Structure 1
Amino acid sequence: MARTVVIAPDSFKGTIAAAAAAAALAQGWRSERPADDVRLRPMADGGEGTVDAFATAVPGARRMPVTVTGPEGDEVEAAWVLLPSTPDAPAGTGVVELASTSGIELLGTPPRLRPFDAHTRGFGEAIAAALAHGVSRLVLGIGSSSSTDGGAGMLTALGARFADAHGTPIPGGARGLAGVSNADLSGLPALPPGGVTVLSDVTNPLLGARGAASVFGPQKGASPDDVAVLDAGLARFARVLGAEAPHAEPDAAGAGAAGGTGFGLLAWGASLVPGSAAVAELVGLDDAVGAASLVITGEGSYDGQSDAGKVPAHVRAIAAAAGVPVALVAGRIATDADVSGFAATASLTSLAGSAEAAMGDPARWLVAAGAALARAVG
C-alpha cells in the first residue's frame, strides 16, 4: 500500500544543504517504494540552508540574486528569497540568511579564519536589498557566522554610523569595537510593516562566560587572549549602542548569537525566536506531518546536545503530537545520543564505513540511507 512520507532534515553542516539532503533521501526511498507520495520539507534553524529550505518548501518562493561584500571584503554572489503574498504580508516576506552572505563557509576550506577582521556587512547589504524590494516582513537566519562584530557591519550597511572619539568611522569587524565612542542610528530604515523575525537556535547572552566571544570565538580562530579582547570590545560596543537603543539588552537570550549580531538586530527593533519552530511554521511542516504516515528527519551529527532545540528534536516533537512515527538519518550518531524516540535510524558513517567517506560524498550515502529506511520501515 502506498504511503505518504515527509522528509524534513536540517543541513548536514559543511557537507550538504538541507534541500539537497532531502532530495537524496527521497531518491533512495523512491528506489525501493516508487508508488509512495514523498513530500520534501527541508528544515533549518537559522543557519546555513535557511534560504534553500524556504525556496524548496514554499510554493511560489523566488530566489532574488544579490551581490554583497563577503566577510573577507571580496564580492560574494548570494540570494535572498521572496515568499509569496499572504494576508499578514501583502507585499511578500523576504528571507535572508547570514551564512550565505557573511558566513564562516565563505572563508574557504579549510577556512581562513579572521577573528578580528571578518564582518557582517554583506548580511546588512542583503537585508537592504530585500527592504528596497518593498517586502512587508523580514525573516533573518543568523547561524554559521564568521565574525564577532556585534552586528556592527550589518548595521553600518543599513545606514548606522559608528565612530571613534575623533569622529572617524571605526574599522570593520571586531577590531573596530575597541575604539567605538559614538553611535548614530538615525540613518537606519524603519522596520517593514510586518516586523523583523530573527531565527536562531542559540540562547547565549552577548557578554561573559556564556557570551559570543567566549563560547563561539575559538571556533572563529580566537586564542584565549583574543577572547578577552573580543569580549571587551563587545562590552564597549554594547554601552555605546545601548545608549542609543536602550531596549537592546546584552543579557537577552540570543543577543550573543552570530558573534553578537543578535544584539545588533535587537537594537534595530527585531524579535529573536527559536529558529526550528519558526521555520517549521513558515514551511507548513505541521500540516504536512499531519497527512503523513512517516516522517524522516536528520542532521550532520546527532549527539547528546541534539535535543536542545535542534531540528530533529523539533520535527520529532511535531510528529509525536500527530501520532506519526519518525526516522532519523545523521552523518554520525553519538553513543551518548538518546534515539529511543525514533522508529528507525541510519548513520551515514556506518553505511560508508568511515566518517571521511561519508563526508566525501554525502549525497551518495543519503540515497543509500533513504533506501535502507524504506526497506526497514516502509
Structure 2
Amino acid sequence: MTEEQGRPRVLIAADKFKGSLTAVEVAERVGAGLRSARPGLAVEALPVADGGDGTVAAAVAAGFTRHEAAVTGPLGEPRTAAFALRADTAVVEMAEASGLQHLPPGRFAPRTATTYGTGELLRAALDAGARSIVLGVGGSATTDGGAGMLTALGARFLDGTGASVGLGGGGLAALARADLSGLDPRLAAVDLVLASDVDNQLTGEHGAAAVYGPQKGADPEDVAALDAALAHYADVLEAGARAQAPGAGAAGGLGYGALVGLGARFRPGIEVLLDVLGFAPALERADLVVTGEGSLDAQTLRGKAPAGVAAAARARGVEVVAVCGRLALAPEELRAAGIAAAYPLTSLEPDVDTCVREAGPLLERLAARIARERL
C-alpha cells in the first residue's frame, strides 16, 4: 500500500449530483465525512465531469483559470458564459452558452434554439490564446447541427435568395448553400477535441432529433422536421458520410458541425477530461478512489464519469467505491464496471425528495461509513 506518513490516501473523483450538488460540493462533503470518521486522513479531491454541464467547474478545480465572455444564449438572449484556460489549453463547455438550463421553466424552442453562443465562446478561447481546445458537449437546448456555432465563427448558411437562413435547426430546411470559407483562420492551427458521453449519429432513429429532441421540447412533428432538416444540412455540406460518425449527433448535432466544420476529433468525454485534469498522477498517489454521480444506472455504464474513473483505477489495481443518490445497478454490474461497492443516499433516507434536499449531510454520513468499512 502506498501511504503518506503511514496513512492511506483517498482520491475523490466524483461527478455532480444533478439538481443537488456540484462535483466540487460532492468532493467537499465526501472529504468532510471521511475525515469525521478518520481524523487526519490524507484526502485528495479531483472533481470530474464527462463533457456536460460542470466541465468548466471541474477544470477550474483542477487548476485552470476561469474566464468569462459575453455570448448569445439559446433563445438569442445575451448572457455571460465561462471557459477554463491553463497555458494554451482551453476547456469549453457548450452548455455554458447553449444549455437547457438557460431556458425559462417550461419554455422550449426545439426548432429555433441556437448554438451561436458556443461559437462565440470558442472565439473567446482563441482570443485568450488557446491552441488546444477541449469542447465538452452535453445538456444542450439545441438541435441545429452546430450551424449556429459555425456561423459565429464566420461560416455562412444561405437560402435560395442568398439570405441567411434562420437560426436553429428548423431554419436548415431552407438551406441552399453553405460557405465555410470565412471560418476564423486560427481554427486551422488548433487541436480541437470533441468530448462527449454519447456516440449517436446525426440522423435517423438513433440520431440527434429522434433520441434527444423530446428532452428539448420536440413533439413528433418537430422531431420529423428536425431530422429531415439535419439530413438536408449534411447533404448541402456534401459530408453525408460524416453524419454517421460517432459523436455526430452529440448536443443536437453540434458534434457534426465540429467534426465537419472545425476538423474536431471525437473522444469519449470522461477519457478526455481525466487526461486534462491530471487524473493519472493523482491515481498513482491513491489507495482508494471514491467516485459517483447522482444516479448509478444503465447510463452510467455507457461512458459516464464513474465508469471512466473505475476503468482507469482498475487498470492500476486501485480499489473503487461509489457514492450516489440512487442506485439501479446490481452488485455484479458494479463489479463488472470495476466498482467494489456503491453507497446510495437512499440507503439512509428512502424518500427521494429528502435525499435531493439533504444531499450534503447525507453524503457526509455515507462517506463516514466508507471510512469505517474500507480504511
Q: Would you call these one fold, judging by a TM-score over 0.5?
A: yes
Deviation at 1:298, TM superposition (A): 0.4
Write the distance in 2 (CA, Å) between the matches of 1:368 and 1:173.
46
1:304 aligned residue: 298
Contact 1:14 1:105 in 2 (8 A): no
- Indicate the RMSD between aligned Cα atoms, in angstroms: 1.7
Shift of 1:35: 0.9
Q: Indicate conservation of the 8 Å contact 1:7/1:40, yes or no.
A: yes
CA distance in 2, matches of 1:327, 1:118: 39
**Which residue in the other structure is 1:250 paired with?**
243
Q: Percent identity?
A: 46
Distance 1:201 1:25, change over 3 A: same
Quick check: 1:134 aligned with 2:137? Answer: no
Q: Which moved more, 1:222-231 or 1:335-344?
A: 335-344
Name the structure 2 match of 1:88. Answer: none
User: What TM-score do the two structures reach when normalised by structure 2?
Assistant: 0.93
Distance 1:41 1:145 in 2: 25
- Could you tell me how far 1:111 is from its partner in structure 2? 4.6
Distance 2:153 2:118 in 1: 10
> Cα 1:357–1:364, aligned 2, differ >3 Å: closer, same or farther?
same
**1:27-42 maps to which residues of 2 (within 5 A)?**
27-42=32-47
Residue 231 of structure 1: aligned partner: 227
- 8 Å contact kept, 2:159–2:177: yes
Contact in 1 for aligned 2:142/2:168 (Cα 8 Å) = yes
Once the two structures are overlaid, the 10-residue window that deviates more, 316-325 or 358-367, is 358-367
Question: Which letter maps to 2:199?
Answer: T
Q: Distance in 2 between matches of 1:345 and 1:133?
A: 41
1:346 alignment counterpart: 343
How many pairs are equivalent? 365
- 1:6 aligned residue: 11
Q: Is the 8 A contact 1:13 1:48 kept in 2?
A: no
Give the alignment partner of residue 100 of structure 1, picking from 85, 91, 96: 96
Aligned to 1:3, the other structure's residue is in SS state strand
Q: Which of residues 144, 152, 156 in structure 2 aligns to 1:149?
A: 144
Equivalent-residue separation in structure 1 for 2:158 and 2:29 (angstroms): 49
Q: Counterparts of 1:138 and 1:309 in 2: how far apart (Å)?
A: 21
Aligned letter for 2:212? F
Q: CA separation in 1, counterparts of 2:137 and 2:298?
A: 23
* Pairs within 5 Å for 1:192-207: 193-207=189-203
Report the counterpart of residue 322 of structure 2 in structure 1. Answer: 328
Gaps of 5+ in 2: 1-5
CA shift, 1:336, in A, is 4.8
Structure 2 match to 1:240: 236
CA deviations 1:321-369 (Å, max 9, x no partner) are: 1111111111100155722343332112332332111222433332232
* Superimposed CA distance per residue, residues 209-240 of structure 1 (whole angstroms, 9 cap, x where no aligned partner): 11001111111111122211110010111111
Give the 5 Å matches for 1:68-87.
68-84=71-87
Distance change (3 Å), C-alpha of 1:285 and 1:307: same
The separation in 1 between residues aligned to 2:196 and 2:308, in whole angstroms, is 13
Deviation at 1:278, TM superposition (A): 1.0
Q: Hey, what does 2:3 align to over in structure 1?
A: none
Structure 1 residue 192 displacement after superposition: 5.7
Partner of 1:113: 108
Counterpart residue identity of residue 316, structure 2: A
Contact between 2:234 and 2:240, CA under 8 Å: does it hold in 1? no
Give the structure-1-normalised TM-score.
0.92
Residue 220 of structure 1 aligns with an amino acid whose one-letter code is K
- Residues 118 and 146, structure 1, Cα contact 8 Å, conserved in 2: yes
SS in 1 for 2:66: strand
